[in-house]
Amino acid sequence: MTQHSDTSFPTPAPMEQLLDILCPWHLVIDAEGTILRTGASVAKLNENRPLVGMPLLDFLELRRPKTLQGMQGLLAQSGRKLHFVMRAAPQTEVKGVIVPLPDGAIEGVQNGSVLNLSFGISVVEAVRDYALTGADFAVTDLTVEMLFLVEAKSAVTEELRHLNQRLQGQRVKAEQEAVTDTLTGLGNRRALDNALGRLCETNTGLSLMHMDLDHFKSVNDTFGHAAGDAVLQHVAERLQKVTRSGDTVVRHGGDEFILILPGLTDITLVRALCNRLISEIEMPVPFSDQRLHVSASIGVSITSDATKTRLDDMMEEADTALYAVKEQGRQGFRIYHPDMGRLDGRDTAA
């Protein structure tokens, strides 16, 4: 006995259901332009006022073609792309196509038409402004995939922004570490070169001090390197306490420090600062159950115009002045002048 396959088909869906599934952004209008029915998604565009019963042109303003007049002109554009803007804020732009609806296709609708809408390139703003989701679009609408790509791009962009911030932070940190002495937190020789380079481009007067700790080797030899590190850190704190925010304080290596003091050219003020530096550094440093003692010798070079002075020469002058202090017994300062036979400062025997 021959068996026949079942060739029956599902009962066709009503036109309203077809429109809701395939065209969630549709409007059904009559010949006078009154909105008779809307897709569920369209209602989100005008939640403050029901669209059913509203004249279409109270909801949408026709922008193109500009020559059309009234509903009769609009209905005559069957199958052609139309450009609208919503009258209510935020006045979103929409595209549309209108086609006549067969009589009887929707119960009670005669001489009706279907206007199907789309956001085009305005869809991203529309999703934001009207809180739309993928469920508001037909399942075959490429808009859903485009929204996914936009969301993915936004996520990637945000992650790249965070990554860039982290990299920027790491770069700044690395740059800071590159010019910082790890033990004391003061600048290192690179920081000194940077500061001198900037000053070479100005006509600012400045003082350059080369400071050396007295008796530091004795502290290291007697109490160990940990004690020596404590002394260096203590000296760094006192140097930062005495100097100004615009000054540059550098650990030049070992127990040597360089101070760059822009604008400080008055001899009286330079002497006062040197005396204060020496007094601060002579204060005992607590370490374990010991009190460690060091003092300071300082050589100073002064210029009234950094652009007219080779800063290498200033370093050499400060070294010469420092050597003169050492020769006189340490624990004092000298300000460089061509004839270093005259003591200019404090000459306290070590």
Task: For residue range 121-137, list pLDDT tens digits in order.
Answer: 778 788 887 888 778 88
User: How many domains, in total, are found in the chain?
Assistant: 3
With 80 as the cut, is the pLDDT of residue 148 above it? Answer: no
Give the pLDDT confidence of 153-163 residue by residue, as tens digits: 777 888 888 88
Counted residue by residue, the chain has a size of 350
Please give the pLDDT value at position 223: 92
Whole-number percent of the chain with pLDDT over 70: 91
The mean pLDDT value for 331-343 works out to 76
The answer to the question of residue 230 being in a domain is yes
Residues 193 and 320 in one domain: yes
Whether the pLDDT of residue 341 is over 60: the answer is no
pLDDT recorded at residue 12 = 55
Examine the domain organization and report whether 329 and 253 are in the same domain. yes
Examine the domain organization and report whether 196 and 325 are in the same domain. yes
Residue 41: CATH number of its domain: 3.30.450.260
Give pLDDT, residue 318.
94
Interatomic CA distance for residues 297 and 295, integer angstroms: 7
Task: Mark which of 132, 156, 178 sits at the end of a domain.
Answer: 178
- Residue 193 is part of a domain; what is its CATH number? 3.30.70.270
Tell me how far apart the terminal alpha carbons of the chain are, to the nearest angstrom: 127
- Same domain assignment for residues 69 and 101: yes
What is the per-residue pLDDT across 270-327, written as a single tens digit (0 to 9) for each? 999 999 999 999 999 999 888 999 999 999 999 887 776 777 888 899 999 999 999 8
Residue 116 in any domain: the answer is yes
* Together in a domain, 203 and 329: yes
pLDDT bucket at 165, cuts 50 / 70 / 90: confident
Q: Do both 289 and 172 map to the same domain?
A: no
Q: Do 270 and 242 share a structural domain?
A: yes
Per-residue pLDDT for 184 more than 80?
yes
Does residue 346 belong to any structural domain of this protein?
Answer: no
Helices (H), the chain: 15-22, 56-59, 70-75, 123-130, 142-178, 189-199, 216-223, 225-242, 267-282, 311-327
Instruction: Kindly tell me if the per-residue pLDDT of 348 is higher than 50.
Output: no
Residue 235 pLDDT:
94
Q: Are residues 168 and 235 in the same domain?
A: no
pLDDT for the residue numbered 179: 80
Q: How far apart are alpha carbons 210 and 341 in whole angstroms?
A: 19
Q: In the predicted model, what is the mean pLDDT of residues 260-268?
A: 92
Residues 247 and 201 in one domain: yes
Q: How confident is the model at residue 7 (pLDDT cuts 50, 70, 90)?
A: low
- Residue 82 half-sphere exposure, CB side, CA atoms within 13 Å? 23
**Cα(189)–Cα(206) distance, integer angstroms:** 18
Per the structure, the complete domain to which residue 174 belongs is given by: 141-178
pTM for the structure as a whole: 0.53
Domain stops at, among 128, 155, 178? 178
Same domain, 100 and 229: no
Q: Is residue 91 part of a domain?
A: yes
Q: Is residue 6 part of a domain?
A: no
135 and 146 assigned to the same domain = no
Task: Flag whether 125 is in a domain.
Answer: yes
Whether 99 and 51 share a structural domain:
yes
Q: Average pLDDT of the chain?
A: 84
Residue 316 located in a structural domain: yes
Residue 4 belongs to some domain of the structure: no
Average pLDDT over residues 15-27: 85
